[in-house]
Structure 1
Amino acid sequence: MIGKLTGILDSKNPPQVLVDCHGVGYEVDVPMSTFYNLPGVGEKVSLLTHFVVREDAQILYGFGSGPEREAFRQLIRISGVGPRTALAVLSGMSVAELSQAITLQEAGRLVKVPGIGKKTAERLLLELKGKLGADMGAQVHAVNDAQADILQALVALGYSDKEAAAALKSLPAGVGVSDGIKQALKALAK
C-alpha cells in the first residue's frame, strides 16, 4: 500500500524515525544499517517501505535501498520469522553479508544476530537458499558505502531501483559520491 516515503526527517529514536510528509508524520521502523545512513533531523529523506497490517497494529518499515527491502520481504515469508526478527537480521548484518552467509551456508554468522538461535539460523539458510543467496549477492556484491549513497540519491531523485542499479554498474570502481551521482545522471539521461 505505501511503497515509498519522501519528506523531512522529524525525529530519530532507534529503531524508529518520524518522517513528515507534507504535514503528516509517519512513524517508520528501520534497520540500524538504514538508521546510520539517514541524514540529520530537519533534512529531506526518502525511504522505501513495507507496510504490515496486523489485527492489533499497522506498522511501516523503511529501508534505504531496494535490496534491503527485498531481503526483508524474503525473511518475513519464512515461517516463524516476523518483521521484528527480520529487522534484527538486517540490523546485525548487511544484505551482502546475509547473502554470502546463505550462499556459503554459514549458520554461525546468523547466530551472532541477537534473537537468532541455531534452529532459526538453519531454517533461514535452508529456506533462503536460491532466493537470496547468489541472486541477491550479484545485486549487492560491490555496493560499498559510496555506491550505496549514490543509489539512495538516485532513488530519492525519482529513479526506480532497477534504473539506479543499472546506472551504478556503468560507473568506474572507486568513484566518489558526488562524481558518481553526476556520472550516473548523465548515463540515465541518455
Structure 2
Amino acid sequence: MIARLTGTLDDFGPDWAVIDVSGVGYLVHCSAKTLDALGVRGDRVTVHTELQVSENDMRLIGFASGAEREWFRLLTGVQGVGSKMALAVLSALSTDELARACGAGDAAMVARAQGVGPKLASRIVNELKDKAGAMPAAAGGMIAAAPAGSASSDAVSALQNLGFKPQVATMAVARAIEELGEDAGLDALIRVGLKRAAG
C-alpha cells in the first residue's frame, strides 16, 4: 500500500496531479484544496495517499494532510458516498469546517459541495456527528491516539498550559508533526506548535 509520496509536482489539472518520484510519475486524484496546497510545477511536494482498488480500476487519491485523508475515509464509509463525492466535499469544505458542520448537524453547509443533495448531506452529518466530535479536525486522529508521555501528547499539554484551547493545541501539534516528521523532539514540537497555534 502506498501511504505517502514525496517528489516533484510535474503536472496538474482540475482534480489531479502528477508527482514525479525518482523518475516515476504517479497520477494522484486530489481535492481542490489539496491542489491549492501543492503549489506550482517544479515544487517539491509531499502528499498522503490512499490506494483504491476495484474490479476494473486502481486509483491513488492524494491529500495535503493526514487529517484530510482521515476525513476521506470517514466520508467514503457513508452509504452513497464514493471517492469522487468525498473529494467534492473536501474541495468545498476544509477539515475544520467539515468537523464543525458534522458536530453541529449543519447539513446545509455540507450540501454546498458539488453534487451533494440535501438528503445525502443529512446522512453524512448524521452518520459522522459522533465521529467528528471524537476526532480533532486537523489532526487526522494522530494526536488523539498519542500515548500518554509521548512527545506529541506532552507538546499538546504544554500548549494547553499556555492557554490554548485543547482543539487548537492538538491541531497545532499535528501540523508541527507534519512539518518536522514523527520523530521530532518535544522542544521542536512546542516551538513550531506555538507558531501554528498563534498563527
- TM-score when normalising by structure 1: 0.78
Pairing of 1:1-190 with structure 2 (within 5 A): 1-137=1-137, 139=139, 142=168, 152-154=178-180, 159-160=181-182, 167=189, 170-172=193-195, 173-175=197-199
Identity of counterpart residues, as a percentage?
A: 39
Q: Within 1, Cα distance between the matches of 2:132 and 2:105?
A: 12
Q: Within 2, Cα distance between the matches of 1:79 and 1:161?
A: 37
* SS state at 2:6 partner: strand
Conservation of the 8 A alpha-carbon contact between 1:111 and 1:117? yes
Q: Paired residues, what number?
A: 168
**Hey, which bits of structure 1, 4+ residues long, moved more than 6 A?**
146-149, 161-164
Q: Within 1, Cα distance between the matches of 2:17 and 2:51?
A: 15
Listed as ranges, the gaps of 5+ residues in structure 1 are 176-190
Q: Shift in Å at residue 139 of structure 1? A: 3.9
- Amino acid across the alignment from 1:130: D
Listed as ranges, the gaps of 5+ residues in structure 2 are 141-166
Partner of 2:162: none
Partner of 1:181: none
Q: Shift in Å at residue 161 of structure 1? A: 9.9
Q: Within 2, Cα distance between the matches of 1:162 and 1:119?
A: 44
Q: Within 2, Cα distance between the matches of 1:151 and 1:15?
A: 27
Partner of 2:149: none
Conservation of the 8 A alpha-carbon contact between 2:176 and 2:193? no
- Amino acid across the alignment from 2:89: V
Conservation of the 8 A alpha-carbon contact between 1:66 and 1:161? no
Conservation of the 8 A alpha-carbon contact between 2:67 and 2:137? no
- TM-score when normalising by structure 2: 0.74
Q: Shift in Å at residue 12 of structure 1? A: 1.4
